A and B are shown apart, each in its own frame.
Chain A
Amino acid sequence: MVNNVETLAAVVPIINIGGEEYAKIGVGKSTGTKLISACGNINKPGVYEIDMTISVEEFIYSDEYCGGIPNGKRLKACIPGGSSVPILPANLLLTTAKGEKRMMNYESLNDGGFATGTMMGSGGFIVLDEDQCVVRHTLSLARFYHHESCGQCSPCREGTGWMKRVLSNIESGKGKMSDIDLLWDIQRKIEGNTICPLGDAAAWPVAAAIRHFRDEFEWHVNNPEEAQRRNFGLAHYADPLPVPQPVA
């Protein structure tokens, strides 16, 4: 059995305070604590241990955790659970589709399924501010999964490289409008058809980027030269909420 550091780190407090006491931390089924490795456009990147009762908004903006987004920029998107989980635009990240406040726990992040939700995953929290390009970001994820593929089973071996090349075409201004539908079709044929979950992990970020940021992909295709000079900006999926004032 393979254990990661997070599991081993949780063993000591469980032994010290007992399993039942430990399970009282947190909320609902998300008991205990969770290590969140926060990075991207935030003031205080680092590994935070949270008790899964705080909201996503609080986690990003409070000084206790990430400390907000530097240079007064606004939040564009976020990958809350490691590179393989679906990316969410700011409006869906901070509130769920039902209009509730999204909390940093397994159930709340998963609310809405893949259509309007995402996953807690491994807790690799990546924040993208308004200067980031989702197409370029998706390309780097696709490149990573192409590099990581072991090459045993055919959908992952051939599909990850294909997605990377199509994305790289779109990013470098050589894309066609049909490439977006092609990407969607490729990810659909990889997901669930591979031996290990790396195929799913390669497919989900591409799927979510197209699902939520299709207009940005289309803008890249329609304005190939402009897309080389500037990024798409925020559009309608911008952070709709005012930045809360830090609690004194």
Chain B
Amino acid sequence: MAEEKKLFKVTIDNISVEVEPGTTILNAARQIGGDIVPPAMCYYSKLQGSGGKCRTCLVKVSKGSEADPRPMPKLVASCRTTVMDGMEVANITSPEVIEARKGVVEFLLLNHPLDCPVCDQAGECHLQDLSYEHGVSATRYEFKRRTFDKIDLGDHIQLHMTRCILCYRCVFTADQLTEKREHGILGRGEHAEISTYIKESLDNDFIGNVIDVCPVGALTDKTFRFKNRVWFLKPVDAHRDCENPKCCGKTTVWLRGNEVFRVTARKDQYGEVEAFICDTCRFEKKEATDWVIEGPRKISRASVISQGHYVGTVQPKETIEKVLDGRKPKLLMDIHSVSQVNRPDIDLSQIDGPAHSDDFNKKGVQ
């Protein structure tokens, strides 16, 4: 570490970390990792200018800096607030933050259709994860929800605005990755919607990445729509020599058997892609022979995709006997008391071989 570069010490939920000046609170928290990382629905580290919109990453700054120890009067968006030396931040240790986040989740879900059972994003949806972790179980909204018609953006992408939470990520992606920006936000306030200018199709080489950056199921892959649920697929890292010089060719291929169901970019533990991929890789290479398989992909987010994989979980050290302090585990319900078939006056161990219905009716006993 160079001597002249002074690092800022920032304390998040009583854990200190030294980061470079100019780092945001969110990125400082990601350097610590674990539960104290605020959730982010709109911030995307690969996209310049993203963040600040969804307000899920609100944190409390209880001490501004070493030089000016006053706390900040309001909760601040951690994705857009840079750290100061000696700053003290409370995230999950502040009830105020938890309460505000609960409110934001409720606002985000207010006009969300909650059609997860038919949504392709289910299982890898950030909004799903967010509402499980921070939301409340029921909504208090009693009015008609905002709905839109589905729009086809070109051959491969479908836009379902009803599910959109207006994070603006796809707008930044289209603006920064593709050569001609053709879509953005139309309208204002509650009527704002993502759309192309006069509903043109999107056919840039990299426009498929809007599917990956979308935190909800608003932008979905038409080549994958309704083909499968993501948790039935096996994600593997794969690569191919892509002709497009801007594309890295390193992807995650989602397999079932030998069949390639879809191709996405590789996503890190915060659901952000490691490198963007081109549309040829994403939409047109759907044969297992197109790809060189590297190995299984770890989906490290606490998602349903990880179900059954249990990566990184620790087996509890305590055994049942130890927890029960030497007592034998006691069944909560005596099967004889509830079953019409099994009768308490019959000792099942006395019956030879597999039990037969004759063993249980009175005639058999007598």
Chain A residues with a Cβ under 8 A of chain B:
146-155, 157-162, 165, 182, 188-190, 192-195
Contact = CB atoms under 8 A, between A and B. Distances in A.
Contacts of A189: 99-100, 102-104, 106-107
Contacts of B58: 193
Contact of A149 (B104, B140, B189): B189
B52 A195 contact: yes
Contacts of A147: 189
B262 interface: no
Interface in B5-40: none
Contact of B166 (A151, A155, A195): A151
Contacts of B111: 158
Contact of A193 (B103, B168, B187): B103
Contact of B55 (A149, A160, A161, A193): A193
Contacts of A192: 74-75, 100
A146 B107 contact: no
7 contacts: A149-B188, A149-B190, A150-B189, A150-B192, A153-B54, A155-B107, A192-B100
Given A162-B110, A192-B74, A150 B188 contact: yes
Given A153-B53, A157-B189, A189-B107, 14 more contacts: A146-B189, A150-B189, A151-B192, A153-B52, A153-B54, A154-B54, A155-B104, A158-B111, A158-B190, A160-B189, A162-B141, A193-B75, A193-B100, A195-B55
B198 to A, nearest CB: 21
Contact of B103 (A152, A155, A157): A155
B227 interface: no
A195 B189 CA distance: 14
A81 to B, nearest CB: 19
Contacts of B165: 154
Contacts of B226: none
Contacts of A150: 188-189, 192
A155 B107 CA distance: 6
Contacts of A154: 53-55, 104, 107-108, 165-166
Interface in B189-220: 189-192
Contacts of A160: 189-190
A3 B40 CA distance: 36
Contacts of A182: 140
B184 to A, nearest CB: 13
Interface string B245-286: 000000000000000000000000000000000000000000
B145 to A, nearest CB: 11
Contact of A158 (B74, B102, B107, B187): B107
Contacts of A146: 189-190
Contacts of A190: 103
Contacts of B310: none
Given A151-B187, A152-B53, A193-B58, A157 B192 contact: yes
Contacts of B52: 153, 195
A149 B188 CA distance: 7
